[in-house]
Structure 1
Amino acid sequence: MLESLLRGDLRLFLHINGQWHNGVLDVIMPMLREPFMWAPLYLFLALFVTINYGWKGLFWIAFFLITFGVSDQASLFLKEYIGRLRPCRDPIVSHYTRVLVVYCPRSGSFTSNHAANHFALAMFCFLTLKSSFGRYTWLFFLWAAAISYAQVYVGVHYPLDVTGGGVMGAFFGFLSGSFFKRRIKLELKPELTT
Protein backbone atom coordinates (compact mmCIF):
# COMPACT_ATOMS: atom_id res chain seq x y z
CA MET A 1 0.00 0.00 0.00
CA LEU A 2 2.83 2.42 0.87
CA GLU A 3 4.50 1.67 -2.46
CA SER A 4 1.32 2.48 -4.39
CA LEU A 5 0.86 5.68 -2.36
CA LEU A 6 4.43 6.78 -3.19
CA ARG A 7 3.89 5.94 -6.88
CA GLY A 8 0.75 8.09 -6.93
CA ASP A 9 2.64 10.83 -5.11
CA LEU A 10 5.38 10.77 -7.76
CA ARG A 11 2.84 10.81 -10.59
CA LEU A 12 1.04 13.81 -9.11
CA PHE A 13 4.37 15.58 -8.57
CA LEU A 14 5.33 15.06 -12.23
CA HIS A 15 1.96 16.49 -13.33
CA ILE A 16 2.18 19.58 -11.10
CA ASN A 17 5.87 20.24 -11.70
CA GLY A 18 6.27 19.04 -15.26
CA GLN A 19 2.94 19.44 -17.04
CA TRP A 20 0.60 21.86 -15.28
CA HIS A 21 2.76 24.93 -15.72
CA ASN A 22 2.95 28.14 -17.71
CA GLY A 23 5.17 31.18 -17.98
CA VAL A 24 3.14 33.33 -15.58
CA LEU A 25 3.11 30.69 -12.82
CA ASP A 26 6.82 30.10 -13.38
CA VAL A 27 7.37 33.69 -12.22
CA ILE A 28 4.73 33.80 -9.46
CA MET A 29 5.30 30.45 -7.72
CA PRO A 30 8.95 30.93 -6.70
CA MET A 31 8.07 34.35 -5.22
CA LEU A 32 4.98 32.98 -3.45
CA ARG A 33 7.09 30.78 -1.20
CA GLU A 34 9.50 33.54 -0.13
CA PRO A 35 9.06 35.07 3.36
CA PHE A 36 9.61 38.65 2.13
CA MET A 37 6.50 38.28 -0.05
CA TRP A 38 4.33 37.87 3.06
CA ALA A 39 6.07 40.40 5.35
CA PRO A 40 3.29 42.99 4.76
CA LEU A 41 0.67 40.46 5.92
CA TYR A 42 2.63 39.67 9.10
CA LEU A 43 3.10 43.38 9.79
CA PHE A 44 -0.60 44.05 9.19
CA LEU A 45 -1.62 41.26 11.61
CA ALA A 46 0.80 42.48 14.30
CA LEU A 47 -0.51 46.06 14.01
CA PHE A 48 -4.13 44.91 13.81
CA VAL A 49 -4.02 42.89 17.04
CA THR A 50 -2.00 45.43 19.03
CA ILE A 51 -4.16 48.39 17.94
CA ASN A 52 -7.47 46.57 18.43
CA TYR A 53 -6.72 44.34 21.42
CA GLY A 54 -4.05 46.16 23.43
CA TRP A 55 -1.91 43.95 25.67
CA LYS A 56 -3.82 40.83 24.58
CA GLY A 57 -2.55 41.56 21.08
CA LEU A 58 1.02 41.16 22.38
CA PHE A 59 0.07 37.75 23.78
CA TRP A 60 -1.43 36.91 20.39
CA ILE A 61 1.87 37.79 18.67
CA ALA A 62 3.76 35.62 21.19
CA PHE A 63 1.44 32.67 20.53
CA PHE A 64 1.70 33.25 16.78
CA LEU A 65 5.51 32.98 17.02
CA ILE A 66 5.37 29.98 19.37
CA THR A 67 2.98 28.18 17.00
CA PHE A 68 5.39 28.84 14.14
CA GLY A 69 8.39 27.63 16.18
CA VAL A 70 6.76 24.41 17.38
CA SER A 71 5.53 23.39 13.92
CA ASP A 72 8.90 24.27 12.38
CA GLN A 73 10.87 22.18 14.88
CA ALA A 74 8.45 19.24 14.62
CA SER A 75 8.80 19.27 10.83
CA LEU A 76 12.61 19.46 11.05
CA PHE A 77 12.58 16.47 13.41
CA LEU A 78 10.44 14.43 10.99
CA LYS A 79 12.68 15.37 8.05
CA GLU A 80 15.71 14.12 9.94
CA TYR A 81 13.96 10.97 11.17
CA ILE A 82 12.34 9.93 7.87
CA GLY A 83 15.10 11.11 5.53
CA ARG A 84 13.11 11.19 2.29
CA LEU A 85 15.06 12.75 -0.58
CA ARG A 86 13.67 15.87 -2.18
CA PRO A 87 12.68 15.50 -5.86
CA CYS A 88 15.41 17.99 -6.80
CA ARG A 89 18.00 15.84 -4.95
CA ASP A 90 16.81 12.36 -5.94
CA PRO A 91 19.31 10.91 -8.48
CA ILE A 92 16.50 9.51 -10.65
CA VAL A 93 13.63 11.98 -10.19
CA SER A 94 15.85 15.08 -10.46
CA HIS A 95 16.34 14.38 -14.20
CA TYR A 96 12.59 14.95 -14.71
CA THR A 97 12.25 17.84 -12.25
CA ARG A 98 11.92 21.48 -13.19
CA VAL A 99 13.72 23.30 -10.35
CA LEU A 100 12.58 26.93 -10.30
CA VAL A 101 14.60 28.06 -7.28
CA VAL A 102 18.28 28.89 -7.15
CA TYR A 103 19.00 26.38 -4.39
CA CYS A 104 17.65 22.92 -3.63
CA PRO A 105 17.89 22.42 0.14
CA ARG A 106 19.86 19.43 1.45
CA SER A 107 17.36 18.72 4.22
CA GLY A 108 14.84 15.91 3.91
CA SER A 109 11.59 16.24 2.01
CA PHE A 110 8.94 14.88 4.39
CA THR A 111 7.42 16.96 5.87
CA SER A 112 7.46 20.38 4.24
CA ASN A 113 8.32 23.12 6.74
CA HIS A 114 6.61 25.71 4.54
CA ALA A 115 3.37 23.72 4.63
CA ALA A 116 3.62 22.87 8.34
CA ASN A 117 4.37 26.45 9.38
CA HIS A 118 1.79 28.15 7.19
CA PHE A 119 -1.03 25.72 8.01
CA ALA A 120 -0.19 26.05 11.71
CA LEU A 121 -0.43 29.84 11.42
CA ALA A 122 -3.53 29.62 9.22
CA MET A 123 -5.34 27.45 11.78
CA PHE A 124 -4.20 29.66 14.65
CA CYS A 125 -5.40 32.81 12.86
CA PHE A 126 -8.65 31.11 11.81
CA LEU A 127 -9.50 30.19 15.40
CA THR A 128 -8.37 33.39 17.09
CA LEU A 129 -9.38 36.04 14.55
CA LYS A 130 -12.71 34.63 13.40
CA SER A 131 -14.65 37.22 15.39
CA SER A 132 -12.71 40.00 13.66
CA PHE A 133 -12.58 38.78 10.06
CA GLY A 134 -15.77 36.71 9.95
CA ARG A 135 -16.34 34.78 6.74
CA TYR A 136 -13.03 35.97 5.27
CA THR A 137 -11.05 34.02 7.87
CA TRP A 138 -10.95 30.96 5.57
CA LEU A 139 -8.59 32.97 3.31
CA PHE A 140 -5.79 32.07 5.74
CA PHE A 141 -6.13 28.46 4.54
CA LEU A 142 -6.07 29.57 0.90
CA TRP A 143 -2.83 31.44 1.68
CA ALA A 144 -1.28 28.32 3.27
CA ALA A 145 -2.48 26.06 0.42
CA ALA A 146 -1.03 28.39 -2.24
CA ILE A 147 2.37 28.40 -0.54
CA SER A 148 2.26 24.61 -0.17
CA TYR A 149 1.33 24.13 -3.83
CA ALA A 150 4.21 26.41 -4.80
CA GLN A 151 6.62 24.07 -3.00
CA VAL A 152 5.62 21.25 -5.34
CA TYR A 153 5.43 23.49 -8.40
CA VAL A 154 9.04 24.72 -7.99
CA GLY A 155 10.36 21.16 -7.55
CA VAL A 156 11.48 21.05 -3.92
CA HIS A 157 8.70 18.87 -2.43
CA TYR A 158 6.31 16.06 -3.32
CA PRO A 159 2.54 16.50 -2.80
CA LEU A 160 2.65 14.03 0.12
CA ASP A 161 5.29 16.20 1.83
CA VAL A 162 3.10 19.29 1.79
CA THR A 163 -0.01 17.29 2.73
CA GLY A 164 1.77 15.76 5.73
CA GLY A 165 3.19 19.13 6.71
CA GLY A 166 -0.20 20.78 6.33
CA VAL A 167 -1.98 18.22 8.51
CA MET A 168 0.70 18.36 11.19
CA GLY A 169 0.80 22.16 11.13
CA ALA A 170 -2.99 22.45 11.31
CA PHE A 171 -2.90 20.15 14.37
CA PHE A 172 -0.39 22.40 16.17
CA GLY A 173 -2.32 25.49 15.12
CA PHE A 174 -5.50 23.94 16.48
CA LEU A 175 -3.87 23.18 19.85
CA SER A 176 -2.35 26.64 20.11
CA GLY A 177 -5.44 28.49 18.88
CA SER A 178 -7.81 26.52 21.12
CA PHE A 179 -5.63 27.15 24.17
CA PHE A 180 -5.37 30.85 23.33
CA LYS A 181 -9.15 31.15 22.88
CA ARG A 182 -9.85 29.42 26.20
CA ARG A 183 -7.26 31.26 28.29
CA ILE A 184 -6.80 34.70 26.74
CA LYS A 185 -9.44 35.33 24.04
CA LEU A 186 -9.35 38.52 22.00
CA GLU A 187 -11.97 41.11 22.84
CA LEU A 188 -12.22 44.57 21.36
CA LYS A 189 -11.07 47.44 23.59
CA PRO A 190 -14.12 49.20 25.14
CA GLU A 191 -13.65 52.42 23.12
CA LEU A 192 -13.82 50.41 19.87
CA THR A 193 -17.09 48.64 20.67
CA THR A 194 -19.22 51.80 20.92
Structure 2
Amino acid sequence: MIESIQQFDVDLFLKINRGLSNGFFDWLMPLLRNRFFWSPLYLFIVVFCIVQYKKQGYYIIGMLLFTFALGDLIASRLIKPFVARVRPCNDLSLATDIIHRVPCGSGLSFPSAHATNHFAIAVFLIFVFYSRWKPILPIGIFWAASISFAQVYVGVHYPVDITVGALLGTTIGFATSRIFKTLQPDF
Protein backbone atom coordinates (compact mmCIF):
# COMPACT_ATOMS: atom_id res chain seq x y z
CA MET A 1 0.00 0.00 0.00
CA ILE A 2 2.69 2.53 1.03
CA GLU A 3 4.82 1.59 -1.98
CA SER A 4 1.92 2.14 -4.39
CA ILE A 5 1.19 5.57 -2.85
CA GLN A 6 4.86 6.52 -3.12
CA GLN A 7 4.99 5.35 -6.74
CA PHE A 8 1.84 7.33 -7.56
CA ASP A 9 3.43 10.36 -5.88
CA VAL A 10 6.64 10.03 -7.94
CA ASP A 11 4.69 9.47 -11.17
CA LEU A 12 2.49 12.52 -10.55
CA PHE A 13 5.55 14.57 -9.60
CA LEU A 14 7.25 13.70 -12.90
CA LYS A 15 4.07 14.48 -14.87
CA ILE A 16 4.07 17.95 -13.35
CA ASN A 17 7.82 18.59 -13.27
CA ARG A 18 8.55 17.24 -16.77
CA GLY A 19 5.19 16.78 -18.46
CA LEU A 20 3.95 20.33 -17.99
CA SER A 21 7.30 21.86 -18.85
CA ASN A 22 7.05 25.02 -20.93
CA GLY A 23 8.80 28.36 -21.20
CA PHE A 24 6.05 30.37 -19.51
CA PHE A 25 5.90 28.06 -16.45
CA ASP A 26 9.71 27.95 -16.36
CA TRP A 27 9.62 31.72 -15.92
CA LEU A 28 6.52 32.03 -13.70
CA MET A 29 6.77 29.14 -11.22
CA PRO A 30 10.14 30.08 -9.69
CA LEU A 31 8.72 33.58 -9.10
CA LEU A 32 5.54 32.30 -7.45
CA ARG A 33 7.45 30.29 -4.86
CA ASN A 34 10.00 33.05 -4.16
CA ARG A 35 9.33 34.61 -0.75
CA PHE A 36 10.45 38.07 -1.91
CA PHE A 37 8.06 38.09 -4.88
CA TRP A 38 5.09 38.37 -2.51
CA SER A 39 6.59 41.10 -0.30
CA PRO A 40 4.37 43.85 -1.82
CA LEU A 41 1.28 41.77 -1.03
CA TYR A 42 2.38 41.19 2.56
CA LEU A 43 3.11 44.90 2.97
CA PHE A 44 -0.31 45.74 1.51
CA ILE A 45 -2.04 43.40 3.98
CA VAL A 46 -0.22 44.99 6.92
CA VAL A 47 -0.92 48.57 5.81
CA PHE A 48 -4.54 47.78 4.86
CA CYS A 49 -5.29 46.15 8.20
CA ILE A 50 -3.77 48.97 10.22
CA VAL A 51 -5.27 51.82 8.17
CA GLN A 52 -8.70 50.22 7.75
CA TYR A 53 -9.15 48.60 11.15
CA LYS A 54 -6.84 50.61 13.47
CA LYS A 55 -6.40 48.72 16.78
CA GLN A 56 -8.14 45.59 15.49
CA GLY A 57 -5.79 45.69 12.50
CA TYR A 58 -2.85 45.18 14.84
CA TYR A 59 -4.64 42.15 16.31
CA ILE A 60 -5.19 40.77 12.81
CA ILE A 61 -1.51 41.21 11.95
CA GLY A 62 -0.49 39.65 15.28
CA MET A 63 -2.69 36.61 14.68
CA LEU A 64 -1.47 36.39 11.10
CA LEU A 65 2.12 36.26 12.36
CA PHE A 66 1.12 33.68 14.96
CA THR A 67 -0.60 31.63 12.22
CA PHE A 68 2.55 31.70 10.10
CA ALA A 69 4.81 30.85 13.05
CA LEU A 70 2.58 27.97 14.14
CA GLY A 71 2.45 26.52 10.63
CA ASP A 72 6.19 26.79 10.21
CA LEU A 73 6.86 25.29 13.64
CA ILE A 74 4.61 22.29 13.10
CA ALA A 75 5.68 21.58 9.50
CA SER A 76 9.40 22.36 9.69
CA ARG A 77 10.38 21.65 13.28
CA LEU A 78 8.04 18.83 14.31
CA ILE A 79 6.88 16.80 11.31
CA LYS A 80 9.79 17.12 8.84
CA PRO A 81 12.48 15.77 11.19
CA PHE A 82 10.20 12.93 12.27
CA VAL A 83 9.30 11.82 8.72
CA ALA A 84 12.69 12.76 7.18
CA ARG A 85 11.59 12.45 3.55
CA VAL A 86 14.20 13.54 1.03
CA ARG A 87 13.22 16.23 -1.47
CA PRO A 88 12.72 14.96 -5.03
CA CYS A 89 15.54 17.22 -6.24
CA ASN A 90 17.89 15.42 -3.81
CA ASP A 91 16.55 11.92 -4.52
CA LEU A 92 19.29 10.02 -6.33
CA SER A 93 16.77 7.69 -7.99
CA LEU A 94 15.28 10.72 -9.80
CA ALA A 95 18.61 12.38 -10.69
CA THR A 96 18.28 11.70 -14.42
CA ASP A 97 14.53 12.38 -14.61
CA ILE A 98 14.03 15.65 -12.77
CA ILE A 99 14.27 19.15 -14.20
CA HIS A 100 15.99 21.42 -11.66
CA ARG A 101 14.56 24.93 -11.91
CA VAL A 102 15.69 26.37 -8.57
CA PRO A 103 18.42 25.45 -6.08
CA CYS A 104 17.25 22.43 -4.14
CA GLY A 105 18.59 23.13 -0.69
CA SER A 106 19.27 20.55 1.93
CA GLY A 107 15.93 20.65 3.76
CA LEU A 108 13.46 17.83 4.02
CA SER A 109 10.34 17.43 1.93
CA PHE A 110 7.33 16.28 3.97
CA PRO A 111 5.19 18.27 4.48
CA SER A 112 5.78 21.37 2.39
CA ALA A 113 6.25 24.35 4.70
CA HIS A 114 5.40 26.66 1.78
CA ALA A 115 2.03 24.93 1.36
CA THR A 116 1.42 24.81 5.10
CA ASN A 117 2.24 28.47 5.66
CA HIS A 118 0.43 29.88 2.63
CA PHE A 119 -2.72 27.84 3.17
CA ALA A 120 -2.68 28.79 6.85
CA ILE A 121 -2.40 32.49 5.97
CA ALA A 122 -5.01 32.25 3.19
CA VAL A 123 -7.55 30.36 5.30
CA PHE A 124 -7.03 32.68 8.27
CA LEU A 125 -7.64 35.73 6.05
CA ILE A 126 -10.62 34.06 4.38
CA PHE A 127 -12.35 33.33 7.67
CA VAL A 128 -11.58 36.78 9.06
CA PHE A 129 -12.63 38.81 5.99
CA TYR A 130 -15.16 36.65 4.10
CA SER A 131 -18.22 38.31 5.62
CA ARG A 132 -16.85 41.70 4.48
CA TRP A 133 -15.39 40.71 1.09
CA LYS A 134 -16.56 37.48 -0.58
CA PRO A 135 -13.94 37.44 -3.39
CA ILE A 136 -11.27 36.66 -0.81
CA LEU A 137 -12.33 32.99 -0.90
CA PRO A 138 -11.37 32.14 -4.51
CA ILE A 139 -8.48 34.61 -4.51
CA GLY A 140 -6.99 33.22 -1.29
CA ILE A 141 -7.33 29.59 -2.34
CA PHE A 142 -5.93 30.28 -5.82
CA TRP A 143 -2.99 32.20 -4.30
CA ALA A 144 -2.04 29.42 -1.87
CA ALA A 145 -2.63 26.68 -4.44
CA SER A 146 -0.51 28.37 -7.13
CA ILE A 147 2.42 28.78 -4.74
CA SER A 148 2.03 25.15 -3.68
CA PHE A 149 1.82 23.89 -7.27
CA ALA A 150 4.97 25.84 -8.10
CA GLN A 151 6.82 23.85 -5.45
CA VAL A 152 6.15 20.66 -7.38
CA TYR A 153 6.82 22.20 -10.78
CA VAL A 154 10.27 23.52 -9.80
CA GLY A 155 11.18 20.12 -8.34
CA VAL A 156 11.47 20.70 -4.59
CA HIS A 157 8.32 18.86 -3.37
CA TYR A 158 6.22 15.84 -4.19
CA PRO A 159 2.44 16.29 -4.65
CA VAL A 160 1.71 14.44 -1.38
CA ASP A 161 3.99 16.90 0.46
CA ILE A 162 1.88 19.73 -0.94
CA THR A 163 -1.44 18.06 -0.23
CA VAL A 164 -0.60 17.31 3.40
CA GLY A 165 0.88 20.81 3.80
CA ALA A 166 -2.31 22.34 2.39
CA LEU A 167 -4.49 20.29 4.75
CA LEU A 168 -2.27 21.13 7.72
CA GLY A 169 -2.25 24.82 6.80
CA THR A 170 -6.01 24.85 6.32
CA THR A 171 -6.48 23.35 9.77
CA ILE A 172 -4.10 25.87 11.35
CA GLY A 173 -5.69 28.82 9.54
CA PHE A 174 -9.16 27.71 10.59
CA ALA A 175 -8.07 27.24 14.22
CA THR A 176 -6.30 30.59 14.49
CA SER A 177 -9.22 32.39 12.83
CA ARG A 178 -11.54 30.86 15.44
CA ILE A 179 -9.20 32.08 18.18
CA PHE A 180 -9.19 35.55 16.62
CA LYS A 181 -12.99 35.60 16.35
CA THR A 182 -13.24 34.51 20.00
CA LEU A 183 -10.87 37.26 21.13
CA GLN A 184 -12.44 39.86 18.80
CA PRO A 185 -16.13 38.88 18.69
CA ASP A 186 -17.26 42.25 17.33
CA PHE A 187 -15.04 41.99 14.24
* Native 8 Å contact 1:127 1:181 kept in 2: no
How far is 1:186 from its partner? Answer: 6.4
- 1:159 matched to 2:152: no
TM-score by length of 1: 0.92
* Native 8 Å contact 2:72 2:113 kept in 1: yes
- 1:169 matched to 2:156: no
How far is 1:44 from its partner? Answer: 1.1
Partner of 1:191: none
* Native 8 Å contact 2:17 2:154 kept in 1: yes
SS of equivalent to 2:134: helix
Partner of 1:116: 116
Q: Could you report, residue by residue, the CA deviation over 1:65-111 in whole angstroms, capped at 9, with x for unpaired residues?
A: 0100010011112111101111110111122110100x212111100
Partner of 2:71: 71
* Native 8 Å contact 2:12 2:159 kept in 1: yes
Structure 1 vs Structure 2: percent identity of aligned residues? 40
Partner of 1:85: 86
Q: Which amino acid aligns with 1:41?
A: L
1:1-194 aligned within 5 A: 1-76=1-76, 77-101=78-102, 103-185=103-185, 187=187
SS of equivalent to 2:169: helix
Question: Aligned-pair RMSD on alpha carbons?
Answer: 1.1
Using a 3 Å threshold, how does the CA distance of structure 1 residues 127 and 59 change in structure 2: closer, same or farther?
A: same
State the distance in 1 between where 2:49 and 2:143 align: 19
State the distance in 1 between where 2:72 and 2:98 align: 26
Using a 3 Å threshold, how does the CA distance of structure 1 residues 83 and 10 change in structure 2: closer, same or farther?
A: same
State the distance in 2 between where 1:35 and 1:62 align: 19
Q: Which amino acid aligns with 2:47?
A: L
State the distance in 2 between where 1:83 and 1:110 align: 7
- Structure 1: tracts of 5 or more residues without a match: 188-194
Which of structure 1's runs of 4+ aligned residues deviate more than 6 A?
A: none
State the distance in 2 between where 1:178 and 1:89 align: 38
State the distance in 1 between where 2:66 and 2:138 align: 21
* Native 8 Å contact 2:126 2:136 kept in 1: no
TM-score by length of 2: 0.96
Larger gyration radius, structure 1 or structure 2? 1
State the distance in 1 between where 2:182 and 2:39 align: 28
* Native 8 Å contact 1:80 1:107 kept in 2: no
* Native 8 Å contact 2:124 2:176 kept in 1: yes
Q: Could you report, residue by residue, the CA deviation over 1:10-47 in whole angstroms, capped at 9, with x for unpaired residues?
A: 11000000111200110110011011111111111111
SS of equivalent to 1:54: helix
Using a 3 Å threshold, how does the CA distance of structure 1 residues 150 and 62 change in structure 2: closer, same or farther?
A: same
